[in-house]
Amino acid sequence: MTTVIERRRTPVRRSGVAIGAVVLSVALVLSIVMAVTIGPASIRFTDVWSSIASHLGFGQSPLSVLRDGIVWQLRLPRVLTAGAVGAGLAIAGAVMQAITRNSLADPYLLGLSSGASLGAVAVLVLGATVLLPVAAFVGALAALAATLVIAGIGSSLAPSRTILAGIAVSSLAAALTSFVIFWTATGDSYREIITWLLGSLAGARWPAVAIAVTAIIVVGVPLMVGGRMLDAFAFGDTSAASLGVNVVRTRWIMLIGTALLTGAMVSVSGSIGFVGLILPHAVRLIVGARHRALLPLSALSGAIFLIWCDTAARTVFDPRELPVGIVTAMIGAPVFVLLLIRSRRAL
Amino acid sequence: MTDGSINIRAADLRADVASAATSAPGLSARGITVAIAGRAIVDAVDADIRSGMVTAIVGPNGAGKSTLIRVLAGVDRPTAGTVVWQDRDWFGLSRRARARIAALVEQDSVAELPLTVRMAVALGRTPHADFLSGVSRRDEEITDDAMRRAGVAGFARRQISTLSGGERQRVNLARALAQDPRLLLLDEPTNHLDVRAQLTTLALARSLARDEGLAVVAALHDLNHAITFADDIVVLDGGRLAAAGAPRDILTPELIARVWGVHATVLTHPRTGMPVIAFDLPPDNTSDPLENS
């Protein structure tokens, strides 16, 4: 066995990643600070933060009750939810890409998000709102199981089959979600369908923050810590097993973890696509495929990405507001095409 | 461990280092059976893998070579039978403990995600790493050393996807060496390699056994490789043990005819004195060369 002295860390290789983490953390804080001050109701930067400080017990809010409510009840929880959901989806995407050995895997493309939406809508219809995250998790897990069974679980999940199976499951779950809403909803059902299928953070209030942040802490952080096991999957299951990894157990834990994370995020935001696809790829280009670095940096950049996508969604076409999923799809779909073209492996 | 079956010429070839290592016990498998859906892929096979020696596993396609290798590597549990590593129950050890002893080089293993050569080789340190700690200086050194020994240090920063088949195979070998194993298992290590790369790979495998006392197991298709590089040979046929022992005692024309259905003549190399197996082409218009004999 090695001694403590031999186990000291090499500073050189780690520093790049550490700098990246610090830079992204600062960028995330700045993004939150900036994003809450941007919105159709023009409120000055200092007033926004004085108002937030007053809710944290520092001083008096300079704003009227209405405008104070815009900051504290609408913008801040929405920005925080966007950050947590972006981080969660990016982690889920990176983990799925490793565990299915498919660089195109993503909770949206493999049907988890649609499955989670279906689960969420189903309990909403039944009136059991409390069970929303649980139902979304069950929906995500069921969709994932269906996708993997259709693709043919085995040591070699062919990338194309997995994606095609995901599309089939996703389409069916989306159709069922629309059906349930059409059948039960009165009035503005189109808006609701769009919210679940395209993803929107318009309804995010403090309970949404609580759910999304809790999911990050309870599921996301353990996935990031355990993520180093994912490196061993780079050359497949046999290789992972010969490196001492319990392949079956690790795969199940990781897949259930991604389903939990996706379910929690979808229950507050609907199925926002492509976040889990774009960010891990972008981060991998810069720091490589080592998951100890990839997962935390993907999470941070996912949070920043979705905060700004959502800020764009609610401001660019003011007074109209876009579902944020439209923004992420407009960026993500071309990236997906680019990845398809770049991947030289036979799909 | 040395028994009467090792003849004098074979013994002469061994370096002193290796003969010292001969006494070291290796892996001993008894009655290994692997059944998938009720069909025995490997059927009651015994094998003794000696430290400091190269053991070749040969046999026709579908004979169960890869399956046996996976059991010996500790990756798959056999349906029946026991494996003992130096007096300890092989599958009684933890998965990680086995991975610190045995390294497996698969045939045709490829990575989907972008990885540099160095990152791929560093994966070999996985079973030695503490769960939460980072990469230690010692891990870095062992990784560098493994790359040097496998001859991949020159392209450490290249992406795996840009490598040729031979280079990729050497990266896989380097990853196995980074595991710092006592038992090295190679599943058809010469697949897709040109002649020079084949010989370099096998010579490296043999020097790991000779110089470092590793127990090396290689599933091979080329019987001349087996007779040239191996100290021991295990012949599988249809999942069963057809023969085992010293290659030049075992690989006789009779056995080759029986197991592979091919006419062969064992010649002596005019310069090296090593045995060379020459095969007859099957006669025209027949699939079974033995039929017309």
In total, the C-beta contacts within 8 angstroms joining chain A to chain B are: 108
CA A200 – CA A209 distance, rounded (Å): 14
Which CATH number is B134's domain given? 3.40.50.300
Cα–Cα distance between B220 and B201 in angstroms, integer?
12
Chain B CB contacts of A246 under 8 Å are 95
Give the pLDDT mean for B126-137. Answer: 76
B26 part of a folded domain: yes
Judged by CB atoms closer than 8 Å, whether chains meet at A244 and B138 is answered as: no
The whole-number average pLDDT for the span B264-282 is 91
What per-residue confidence (pLDDT) applies to A235? Answer: 87
Distances (CA, A) of A80 to A21, A48, A87, A299, B121: 19, 15, 11, 14, 40
Name which of B74, B93, B61, B1 is nearest B32 in CA terms: B74
- Residue among A323, A74, A97 at smallest CA distance from A204: A74
For residues B176 and B206, membership in a common domain is answered with yes
* Model pLDDT for residues B218-258, shown as the tens digit of each residue: 999 999 999 999 999 999 999 999 999 999 899 999 999 99
The region of weakest confidence among A125-129, A193-197, B20-24, B208-212 is B20-24
Q: Are residues B287 and B228 part of one domain?
A: no
By percentage, how much of chain A surpasses pLDDT 70?
Answer: 91
Contact B52, B210 (CB under 8 A): yes
* pLDDT classification of A24: cutoffs 50, 70, 90: very high
Q: DSSP E strands: which ranges in B62-191?
A: 80-85, 88-89, 102-105, 183-187
In this complex, the residue of A10, A232, A284 whose CB is nearest that of residue B137 is A10
Whether residue A156 has pLDDT greater than 60: no
Q: CB count, 10 Å around CB of A237?
A: 19
What would the two tokens of residue A265 be?
């995020």
In chain B, residues with a C-beta closer than 8 Å to the C-beta of A228 are 129, 131
Q: Is the Cβ pair A235, B123 closer than 8 Å?
A: yes
**Alpha-carbon gap: B138 to the closest alpha carbon of chain A (Å):** 6
| B231 and B283 within one domain | no
- Looking at per-residue pLDDT, the higher value among B150 and B57 belongs to B57
Nearest CA of chain A to the CA of B284: how many Å? 38
Chain B CB contacts of A343 below 8 Å:
none
Q: Does residue B198 sit in the same domain as residue B288?
A: no
**B70 contacts A238? CB cut-off 8 A:** yes
Q: Would residue B2 count as lying in a domain?
A: no
Q: Does one domain contain both B224 and B283?
A: no
Q: Which token pair is B52?
A: 């400091």
Instruction: Return the pLDDT at A306.
Output: 97
% pLDDT > 90, chain B: 65
Query: Pick from B98, B106, B123: which is nearest to A232 by CB?
Result: B123
Instruction: Return the residue of A nearest to B115 by Cα.
Output: A289
What distance, in Å, lies between the first and last C-alpha atoms of chain A?
Answer: 44
Going by C-beta distance under 8 Å and a sequence separation of 6 or more, which residues neighbour residue B169? B105, B189, B191, B192, B193, B197, B201
pLDDT of A130 reads 77
- CA–CA separation, A25 vs B20, rounded Å? 58
Rounded CA Rg of chain B: 19
Contact yes or no for A242 and B103 at CB 8 A: yes
Residue-wise pLDDT for A277-305, tens only, equals 999 988 988 887 888 889 999 999 999 99
Phi, psi of B31 (to 5 degrees): 60, 35
Beta strands in chain B, from DSSP E residues, in sequence order:
27-36, 39-49, 54-58, 80-85, 88-89, 102-105, 183-187, 215-219, 232-237, 240-245, 264-268, 275-279
Amino acid B145: pLDDT: 94
How many whole angstroms separate alpha carbon A111 and alpha carbon B161?
A: 29
Peptide bond into A319 cis (omega under 30): yes
CA–CA gap between residue B262 and residue A244 (Å, rounded): 40
A195-236 per-position pLDDT tens digit: 888 899 988 999 999 999 999 999 999 999 888 788 888 888
- Which band of pLDDT confidence, cut at 50, 70 and 90, is reported for residue A12? very low
What was the pLDDT predicted at B197? 87
Please list every residue in chain B whose beta carbon sits closer than 8 Å to the beta carbon of residue A14: 134
Strand, helix or coil at B49?
Answer: strand
- Whether B85 contacts B77, CB under 8 Å: no
The pLDDT, as a whole number, for residue B24 is 59
The pLDDT assigned to A343 comes to: 66
Residues B189 and B288 in one domain: no
Interface test with A, best of B113, B115, B159 (most A CBs within 10 A): B113
**pLDDT at position B262:** 93
Verify whether the Cβ–Cβ distance A242 to B102 is below 8 Å: yes
Mark whether B185 and B40 lie in a shared domain: yes
Cα separation, B122 vs B160, in Å, equals 13
Average pLDDT on A163-169 reads 89
Report the alpha-carbon distance of residue A209 to residue A214 in Å, rounded.
8
Q: Which two tokens stand for residue A251?
A: 């795969």
pLDDT tier at A183, thresholds 50, 70, 90? confident
Asked if B119 and B188 sit in the same domain, the reply is: yes
The reply to whether residue B140 touches residue A10, judged by beta carbons under 8 angstroms, is yes
Task: Identify the pLDDT of residue B37.
Answer: 86
Token representation of residue A120: 């969420």
Q: Per CB distance under 8 Å, which residues of B are interface residues toward A?
A: 70, 73-76, 94-100, 102-104, 106, 109-116, 119-120, 123-124, 126-127, 129-138, 140, 161, 172, 175, 179
Q: How far is A299 from chain B (nearest CA, A)?
A: 19
Across the interface, whether the CB atoms of A232 and B172 are under 8 A apart is answered: no
Instruction: Judge: B96–A225 Cβ closer than 8 Å, yes or no.
Output: no
pLDDT at A347 over 50: no
Q: Where are the domains of chain A?
A: 80-342
Q: Which residues of A touch B (CB under 8 A)?
A: 2, 6-10, 13-14, 97-98, 101-103, 159, 225, 228, 231-232, 234-236, 238-239, 241-246, 284, 288-290, 292, 344-345
Domain that holds residue B267: 263-293
Q: Fold for A80-342, please state it.
A: ABC transporter involved in vitamin B12 uptake, BtuC (1.10.3470)
The Cα B174–Cα B72 span in angstroms is 20
Question: Which residue has 């010969």 as its token pair?
Answer: A242
In contact, B232 and B246? CB cutoff 8 Å? yes
For residue B11, the model assigns a pLDDT of 40
Do A241 and B102 make contact, defined as CB atoms within 8 angstroms? no
How many structural domains is chain B composed of? 2
Condensed to tens digits (0 to 9), the pLDDT of residues B134-183 reads 678 888 999 999 999 888 999 999 988 888 888 888 899 999 999 999 99
Is there a single domain that holds both residue B220 and residue B278? no
* pLDDT level of residue B7 (50, 70, 90 thresholds): very low
pLDDT at A125: 81
Q: Which residues contact B124 (CB under 8 A, 6 or more apart)?
A: A243, B103, B143, B146, B174, B175, B176, B177, B178, B179, B180
Judging contacts by C-beta atoms under 8 Å, the chain B residues touching residue A236 are 106, 109-110
Q: What 3-state DSSP class applies to B277?
A: strand
3-state SS, one letter per residue, for chain A: CCCCCCCCECHHHHHHHHHHHHHHHHHHHHHHHHHCCCCCCCCCHHHHHHHHHHHCCCCCCCCCHHHHHHHHHHHHHHHHHHHHHHHHHHHHHHHHHHHCCCCCCCCCCCCHHHHHHHHHHHHHHHCCHHHHHHHHHHHHHHHHHHHHHHHCCCCCCCHHHHHHHHHHHHHHHHHHHHHHHHHHCCCCHHHHHHHHHHCCCCCCCHHHHHHHHHHHHHHHHHHHHHCHHHHHHHHCHHHHHHCCCCHHHHHHHHHHHHHHHHHHHHHHHCCCCCHHHHHHHHHHHHHCCCHHHHHHHHHHHHHHHHHHHHHHHHHCCCCCCCCHHHHHHHHHHHHHHHHHHHCCCCC
Per CB-CB distance under 8 Å, the chain B contacts of A284 are 113-114
Q: Provide the token pair at A347.
A: 């799909």
Do B244 and B269 lie in one domain? The reply is: no
Is A244–B123 a contact, with Cβ atoms under 8 angstroms apart?
Answer: no
Q: Two tokens at B167? A: 């280079």
Q: Which two tokens stand for residue A186?
A: 């009165």
CA distance A51 to chain B (A): 41
B203: pLDDT confidence band, cut at 50, 70 and 90?
very high
Strand-strand pairing, B275-279 and B27-36: unpaired
Within 8 A of B94 by CB-CB distance, chain A residues are 244
What was the pLDDT predicted at B48?
94
pLDDT given at position B284: 64
A186 or A255, higher pLDDT: A255
Domain membership of residue B257 (yes or no) is no
- The DSSP string of B3-21 is -TTS-HHHHHHS-HHHHHH
pLDDT band at B287 (very low <50, low <70, confident <90, very high): low
Report how far residue B141's alpha carbon sits from residue B147's, in angstroms, rounded to the nearest whole number: 10
For residue B81, is it within any domain? yes
Residue A87 confidence (pLDDT) = 97
If asked whether residues B170 and B283 sit together in one domain, one would say: no
Q: Are residues A97 and B124, on separate chains, in Cβ contact within 8 Å?
A: no
Has residue B274 got a pLDDT over 50? yes
